[in-house]
Amino acid sequence: MARALRRPGLTLPLAALVAASTLVYALAGRRVPGLWIMPDEAIYAARALRLWHEGSIPVFRGQGAGYGLLYPVLAAAPLALGGLVWLKLVQALVMSLAAVPVFLYARRLMSVRHAFVAAVLTLASPLLLYSGFVMTEVLFYPLAAAAMLAIARAVETSSVRDQLLALALSAAAVVTRTQAVVFVAVLAGAALLDAWLAHDRGRLRAFWPTWITLAAGALVAVAAPGAFGSYSSVVSGGYPVSASLRFGYEHLAYLVLSTAVLPIVAFALLFVDAARGRERDRAARTLLAVTACAVLAVCAQVGLFAARFAPHLLGRDLASLPPLLFVVFALWLARGMPRRPRTVAAVCFATLAVIALAPWNDLVNATALPDSLETGLVYRLSGSFDAASLVTLGCLALLVVFALAPRRAAIALPLLLVVLLTATSVAASALVRDRAVADQQELLGAPRDWVDRAASSDVTYIYDGEPAWNSVWQQRFWNDRIAHVLSFPPAKVPGPMPQTVRAPTLDGRLATNDRYVVAADRFTFDGTPVARHARGIDLEGLTLWQLDGPPRLSMVTTGVLPNGDMTGPARLTVYGCAGGALHLTLLPKATNVVTVSLDGRTVLRERIAGRLSWSGSVPVPAAHRGLCRFRIRGGLLLGSTVRSFARA
């Protein structure tokens, strides 16, 4: 295959294809203003930057262990030196390189023209939009394509050298995404299936490296699941059988949709002929065997994972399959579009049934979009049309074209696929941009580096369980000064976030040595607020504090609007309050009588109606122990300008 690249007539067009794809997807990636798929992108970015700055990352234990080793190696330099702009350019090139192994392998089975069809379709997949995100799919897509095609070559030749190459590429895919452990099962299953198709079980003895690797992998999964790092829980525990089967089927239906239907139908036609003993080309037969095993194994694997961990479409976890199907589709075209009427009718009916029975109205939704960009076009159109009807009728139309298109119009079929895949990519890109911009405004605000601009030393982020925990990941990514995260139990930032989980002491002491803290506006510290940052309208603002003396939390306020108004009871929790006093300045507005209680006991009741304002203090006995929990209750509307506590 390497000799093919040395042919001048082949190198230039292939290089031009990769370059064009790189440019297109680099521009598409620039439409995404920051991190969007959270916390995944922040996790991978943190690992890459840690590798660049410290020279090491956790492998089996520690924060982020199990999240892939090779991707941080790829992302470290461009992200550290050029930020997201340079990273996205490099990633667009890396994903576009998937065309190279596809073309080289396809060239062995078909003409140059048809091999280019497979390469073009591989680069037309909406999966390449992930080049605009800090995600392992960037490296996994070309690696998986190379590994799967190397598996096909190994099954074809059964040589030890080719098996070792396939296993090595599979290992590289595993240390990129742990999911690729299934590739060993694909190799083993394809060897068995090909032996059955060829009626030659004697070849199985030559696959001893595969059997040894498969047994070793199973042993590690059973005896040492910790070797899978953060994914160790995936290989332990039980899975719901019914839900796993359902999600496996739904991901099979999604695979049909995401590859624009025709490749899976072409594969089924060729595989039926191979099963009937009509396939004489060993390379083609092994390609079909590998494709069959890969589709079944990966869909089953993703179905199991979705049933237990993420009950929605996980289309990006099927990234290893489209290149295989595109090569098979090009092979079918190269053979003159063979279509035996009865076989075509049966295969088309089965494909339509798979599509029609899937619950597309439930599957195509905003939650699934980040993991299944191929639903972008259907999602965009589902505002005007029923998603299930749209998918079913579209599939039916494609099947009619597939069955009736004359051979002289063969070029129309790959062109149709390119148009559909491109339209899906365009729709998905627009959706992603709109949602990413909205998420950045909601979770991050502007300017994004507001902490770095205002702080002169390390900062601790205080997290107490706010629902928008992705904001912590976003704020930390864009602000290098945020060196530590302190979570108040039982709250903890989800994901492998390096953090200290410890409550403040009764006098408010914090488990940090930093001179700055950033926290939601409801927190007051012993110090001076130096910057305030607004996020989205549904999220509380953030305040950066420069601390005086030992890091100490003074007060937590809830039930008070940003302008000081209270439309219901306000609660103030004060630390180290013994002997101190709560000072208030209140505006009556729609309040006649204000009541203040301490630890559930009324300590002040004042009629303030008719006044412009009222100021007063609530002293705390010196013998008071523990926290002071104040409750301020007015009428329909009570304003305030001062809510402070003076310690003794």
pLDDT at 309 over 60: yes
Residue 150 domain flag: no
Place of tokens 């660049």: 52
- Whether 276 and 356 map to the same domain: the answer is yes
- Whether 390 and 507 map to the same domain: the answer is no
- Euclidean distance between CA atoms 638 and 632, whole angstroms: 10
Q: Yes or no: say if 575 and 508 are a contact pair by the CB < 8 Å rule.
A: yes
Q: Write down how long the chain is.
A: 648
* Mean per-residue pLDDT, 389-404: 96
Q: What is the DSSP string of 180-222?
A: GGHHHHHHHHHHHHHHHHHT-GGGGGGGHHHHHHHHHHHHHHH
Domain stop point among 493, 521, 554: 554
* Mean per-residue pLDDT, 253-267: 98
List C-alpha distances in Å: 492 to 246, 445, 486, 504.
33, 22, 9, 14
Residue 507 domain flag: yes
* Mean per-residue pLDDT, 616-623: 94
- Whether 538 and 425 map to the same domain: the answer is no
- pLDDT-derived band at 9 (thresholds 50, 70, 90) equals low
- pLDDT-derived band at 7 (thresholds 50, 70, 90) equals low
Coil, helix or strand at residue 96: helix
**Residue 126: exposure state from Cβ atoms within 10 A (0-12, 13-18, ≥19):** buried
Minimum mean pLDDT range among 50-59, 106-115, 242-251, 355-364: 50-59
Q: Yes or no: say if 637 and 620 are a contact pair by the CB < 8 Å rule.
A: no
pLDDT at 5 over 60: no
- Euclidean distance between CA atoms 597 and 612, whole angstroms: 23
- Euclidean distance between CA atoms 295 and 186, whole angstroms: 9
- Whether 535 and 596 map to the same domain: the answer is no
Residue 88 domain flag: no
- pLDDT-derived band at 11 (thresholds 50, 70, 90) equals confident
pLDDT at 414 over 80: yes
Beta-sheet strands, E only, within 182-329: none
Q: Yes or no: say if 514 and 459 are a contact pair by the CB < 8 Å rule.
A: yes
The model's pLDDT over 463-512, given as tens digits with 9 standing for 90+, comes to 999 889 999 999 999 999 999 999 999 999 998 899 999 999 999 999 99
Which amino acid is present at 142?
Answer: P
Alpha helices in 440-585 (DSSP H): 450-454, 470-478
pLDDT the model gives residue 220: 84
pLDDT the model gives residue 232: 64
Residue 161 domain flag: no
- Whether 458 and 509 map to the same domain: the answer is yes
Domain stop point among 534, 554, 574: 554
Q: What is the DSSP string of 366-408?
A: TTTGGG-GGGHHHHHHTTTS-HHHHHHHHHHHHHHHHHH--GG
Q: Yes or no: say if 248 and 299 are a contact pair by the CB < 8 Å rule.
A: yes
- Whether 390 and 258 map to the same domain: the answer is yes
- Whether 547 and 619 map to the same domain: the answer is no
Residue 404 domain flag: yes
Domain stop point among 444, 463, 481: 444
* Mean per-residue pLDDT, 152-180: 96
Q: Is the peptide bond before 338 cis (omega within 30 degrees of 0)?
A: no
pLDDT at 235 over 90: no
- Whether 462 and 404 map to the same domain: the answer is no
- Euclidean distance between CA atoms 258 and 252, whole angstroms: 10
Closest CA to 116 of 315, 333, 430, 439: 333
- pLDDT-derived band at 648 (thresholds 50, 70, 90) equals confident
pLDDT at 384 over 60: yes
- Euclidean distance between CA atoms 226 and 61, whole angstroms: 8
* Mean per-residue pLDDT, 278-283: 94
Number of structural domains in the chain: 3
List C-alpha distances in Å: 116 to 2, 14, 110, 122.
16, 8, 10, 10
Task: Tally Cβ neighbours within 10 Å of residue 336.
Answer: 9
Q: Yes or no: say if 518 and 545 are a contact pair by the CB < 8 Å rule.
A: yes
Closest CA to 122 of 21, 256, 2: 21
- Whether 550 and 537 map to the same domain: the answer is yes
Q: What is the CATH number of the domain that holds 593?
A: 2.60.120.260
The share of the chain scoring above pLDDT 70, in percent, equals 96
| Cα separation of the two ends of the chain | 81
- Euclidean distance between CA atoms 330 and 263, whole angstroms: 8
DSSP secondary-structure letter at 244? H
The model's pLDDT over 15-26, given as tens digits with 9 standing for 90+, comes to 999 999 999 999
Residue 523 parent element (H or E): strand 523-525
Which amino acid is present at 561?
Answer: L
Distance of CA 639 to the CA centre of its chain: 44
Note the maximum CA span of the chain: 99
List C-alpha distances in Å: 527 to 389, 454, 502, 524, 543.
61, 15, 21, 8, 12
pLDDT the model gives residue 229: 59
pLDDT the model gives residue 59: 74
- Euclidean distance between CA atoms 9 and 234, whole angstroms: 47
List C-alpha distances in Å: 449 to 476, 478, 485, 560.
9, 6, 17, 27
- Residues near 276 by beta carbon (within 8 Å), at least 6 away in sequence: none
- Euclidean distance between CA atoms 369 and 47, whole angstroms: 25
- Whether 279 and 418 map to the same domain: the answer is yes
What 3 state SS string does 138-153 have?
A: HHHHHHHHHHHHHHHH
DSSP secondary-structure letter at 461? E
Tokens at residue 605, please?
Answer: 């009741």
Q: What is the mean pLDDT of the chain?
A: 93
- Whether 462 and 483 map to the same domain: the answer is yes
Q: Yes or no: say if 335 and 407 are a contact pair by the CB < 8 Å rule.
A: no
pLDDT at 176 over 90: yes
Q: What are phi and psi of 523, to 5 degrees?
A: -95, 135
Task: Tally Cβ neighbours within 10 Å of residue 491.
Answer: 15
Please give the residue that has the higher pLDDT: either 561 or 396.
396
* Mean per-residue pLDDT, 79-88: 96
Q: Yes or no: say if 313 and 251 are a contact pair by the CB < 8 Å rule.
A: yes
Tokens at residue 620, please?
Answer: 């705390």
pLDDT the model gives residue 383: 79
Predicted TM-score (pTM) of the model is 0.90
Tell me which residue range forms the domain holding 511. 448-554
Residue 210 domain flag: no
- Euclidean distance between CA atoms 363 and 545, whole angstroms: 45
- Whether 521 and 578 map to the same domain: the answer is no
The model's pLDDT over 531-554, given as tens digits with 9 standing for 90+, comes to 999 998 888 899 999 999 999 999
* Mean per-residue pLDDT, 188-205: 94
Residue 106 domain flag: no
Residue 471 parent element (H or E): helix 470-478
Coil, helix or strand at residue 59: coil
- Euclidean distance between CA atoms 457 and 483, whole angstroms: 9
pLDDT the model gives residue 8: 55
Which amino acid is present at 335?
Answer: R
- Euclidean distance between CA atoms 155 and 284, whole angstroms: 11
Tokens at residue 67, please?
Answer: 């999240």
Residue 594 domain flag: yes
pLDDT at 227 over 80: no
- Strands of 482-487's sheet in order across: 500-501, 482-487, 459-463, 516-520, 542-547, 527-533
- Euclidean distance between CA atoms 358 and 365, whole angstroms: 14
- pLDDT-derived band at 238 (thresholds 50, 70, 90) equals confident
Q: Yes or no: say if 474 and 461 are a contact pair by the CB < 8 Å rule.
A: no
